[in-house]
Amino acid sequence: MPIRVAVPHETTPGERRVALNPVVAEQLSRLGVQVQIQAGAGCAAYYRDRDYTTAEIVEDRTALLSQADIVLTVSPLVPEDVALLREGTLVIGFLHPHEFDDRIRALRDGKITGFAMELVPRISRAQNMDALSSQASIAGYKAALMAASRTARFFPMLTTAAGTIRPAKVLVIGVGVAGLQAIATAKRLGASVEAYDVRPETREQVESLGARFVDVKVNAVGEGGYARELSEEEKQQEMEILAQHVAEADAIISTAAVPGRPAPKIITSAMVDKMKPGAVIIDLAAHSGGNCELTIPGESFGHELVMVYGPLNVPAMMPVHASEMYARNLFNFLSLIVHDGELSPDWDDEVVAGSVLTRDGKIQHELTRERIEGGQS
C-alpha cells in the first residue's frame, strides 16, 4: 500500500492557506504516494475539492489523520489532532518551535516525527525548501501595498493640472527577505525609498534595488544571517540617527525580527509624535510584539494623526500564491525523504537532520528542548 500523505483543513483563525495546491498535489502523486485532502481544505485559498483531480477527498478529519503516514500542514496541529495520529507519523509544516509548547509536547509524547519548516538550514542546497523566505516575500509585497493604500499621499511622482506632486518617502526598517520585497514593491509603485538595517552588508542589496541605505554606524550581524540583539549604547546611537528619517517618512514598513525573541523596539512613541500627519506605519513584526512601541498586534489605529497598523499572518491575505509557494517548498522537502513511493529519510543528511523538531519521543531541536525541558534530553 502506498504511503498516505494527508492535508487537513487549517483550523487557526484567519489562516486561509492550504499546504498543497492542486498542481503540487498532482506532482506529489507522481512520487508514488496517495494524497488525501480533507474536504474543503483548499476553499479559503480558492481551490475547490474537484480541482484536486489526483487526490482523494476525505470528509472525516478523524479518519484522515488516523490513517496518515505523513501530514502536511501550515499551522501546527493542536494536541487533539496529534492524539489521532499513529506513533511514527511524520508531520511537516510550520511547527513554531519558539512557541506553542503544548503542541510540541504533544508531538513528543505521541512519538511523532515533526519537521519544522522554520528549521530548514539556510544553505544553498535547501533554498527551494525555504518556506520562511517564500512567505516573507509575500508579506513584504503586501506591506508595501498596505502602506500605499493607507497613507494620505501618492506614492509616485505625478504631473497634474495642479502641478507636480512629489513622490512619497518610504522608510523600510529591516532588510531581510520581507524588507527587500517591500523596497522593490515600493520602488515599482514610484516611491522614494530608503532602508535601514543593523547589518551593514545589506547596503549593497538596498542600493541594488535603487533605494538609499541609512547608515547608523552599528554592526549587529548575528547567527544564521539574522541580526543580534543590540547593546544599550548601540540602541541609543541607532535611535538618534534613525529618528530624523522616521520624521521625514510618509510611510514606514518595519520587518526587524530576532527568532524566538520579542521584536526589537526601534520606533519609539516619541518618534511617532514627530511624524507627518497622514503618515502610516506598517509593522510586520507585530506577531512578536512589533518594532513600534505603539503597535497593537492585529489592530490599526491613529496616533496624533499617524496610522499605526500591526497586521498578523500577512501571507494568508494572499492565499493563492502563498499556498502555491508553500506547497512547492513542501514538495521539494518531501523529495528528500520519499523515494519510489517509500518513506526513506537519510538522517545523516544536513537538511533532514537540521529540520527535525521531534523524533522518537524526544525534542531534537536543542533550543526548543532547553526551553521546554530545561535542557534535559
In 221-316, DSSP assigns E strands to 251-254, 280-283, 300-303, 306-309
Listed in sequence order, the DSSP H helices in the chain are 22-29, 61-66, 79-82, 101-109, 131-150, 177-188, 203-208, 232-248, 269-273, 319-337, 350-355, 366-373
End of a domain among 266, 293, 312?
312
pLDDT of residue 217: 77
Q: How confident is the model at residue 224 (pLDDT cuts 50, 70, 90)?
A: low
The pLDDT of 222-251, averaged and rounded, is: 79
51/116 same-domain check: yes
288/231 same-domain check: yes
Check pLDDT > 70 for residue 316.
yes
50/121 same-domain check: yes
How far, in Å, CA of 215 to CA of 308, rounded? 25
Check pLDDT > 90 for residue 194.
yes
Cell triple for 59:
470528509
Is 127 among the residues known to form the active site?
Answer: yes
pLDDT of residue 77: 97
End of a domain among 283, 312, 341?
312
241/216 same-domain check: yes
Catalytic residue, candidates 101, 109, 125, 127: 127
101/212 same-domain check: no
The pLDDT of 298-306, averaged and rounded, is: 96
157/266 same-domain check: yes
Q: How confident is the model at residue 377 (pLDDT cuts 50, 70, 90)?
A: very low
Check pLDDT > 60 for residue 222.
no
The domain that contains 73 carries what CATH number?
3.40.50.720
Is 122 among the residues known to form the active site?
Answer: yes
pLDDT of residue 341: 87
pLDDT of residue 92: 98
Name the percent of the chain lying above pLDDT 90. Answer: 86
Name the percent of the chain lying above pLDDT 70. Answer: 96
217/109 same-domain check: no
To which residue does cell 492557506 refer? 17
Q: How confident is the model at residue 219 (pLDDT cuts 50, 70, 90)?
A: low
Catalytic residue, candidates 29, 66, 133, 237: 133
| 285 in Cβ contact with 253 (< 8 Å) | no
How far, in Å, CA of 163 to CA of 122, rounded? 49
Whole-Å CA distances, 125 to 130, 250, 336, 345, 352 = 10, 40, 11, 16, 12
148/297 same-domain check: yes
| 316 in Cβ contact with 46 (< 8 Å) | no
How many structural domains comprise the chain?
A: 2
How far, in Å, CA of 352 to CA of 121, rounded? 9
Does the predicted model carry a pTM greater than 0.95? no
Task: Please list, in sequence order, all residues whose beta carbon lies within 8 angstroms of the beta carbon of residue 116, skipping any fewer than 6 positions away.
Answer: 93, 94, 95, 96, 97, 355, 356, 357, 365
pLDDT of residue 200: 85
73/26 same-domain check: yes
Check pLDDT > 60 for residue 223.
no
Catalytic residue, candidates 226, 300, 335, 371: 226
328/297 same-domain check: no
Catalytic residue, candidates 48, 86, 122, 261: 122
Q: How confident is the model at residue 235 (pLDDT cuts 50, 70, 90)?
A: confident
End of a domain among 268, 285, 312?
312
Phi then psi for 206, rounded to 5 degrees?
Answer: -60, -50
Check pLDDT > 50 for residue 146.
yes
The pLDDT of 108-116, averaged and rounded, is: 98
307/326 same-domain check: no
The pLDDT of 21-45, averaged and rounded, is: 96
The pLDDT of 93-103, averaged and rounded, is: 94
Check pLDDT > 80 for residue 321.
yes
Dihedral of the alpha carbons of 327, 42, 97, 253, in degrees to the nearest 10 = 80
Q: How confident is the model at residue 125 (pLDDT cuts 50, 70, 90)?
A: very high
How far, in Å, CA of 317 to CA of 143, rounded? 11
Task: Report helix, strand or coil for 221.
Answer: strand
Range of the domain at 274: 138-312
Please give the mean pLDDT across all residues of the chain: 94
CA 353, 344, 93, 65 torsion-angle sign: negative
121/99 same-domain check: yes
The pLDDT of 280-284, averaged and rounded, is: 98
Is 226 among the residues known to form the active site?
Answer: yes
Catalytic residue, candidates 69, 81, 130, 283: 130
Angle at which helices 22-29 and 319-337 cross, to 10°: 10
Query: Tens of pLDDT along 163-178?
Result: 999 999 999 999 999 9
Query: Tens of pLDDT along 327-356?
Result: 999 999 999 999 988 999 999 999 999 999
The pLDDT of 52-81, averaged and rounded, is: 97
Is 130 among the residues known to form the active site?
Answer: yes
pLDDT of residue 236: 80
Kindly tell me the burial class for residue 148, based on how many C-beta atoms sit within 10 Å of its own C-beta (0-12, 13-18, 19 or more).
buried
Is 46 among the residues known to form the active site?
Answer: no
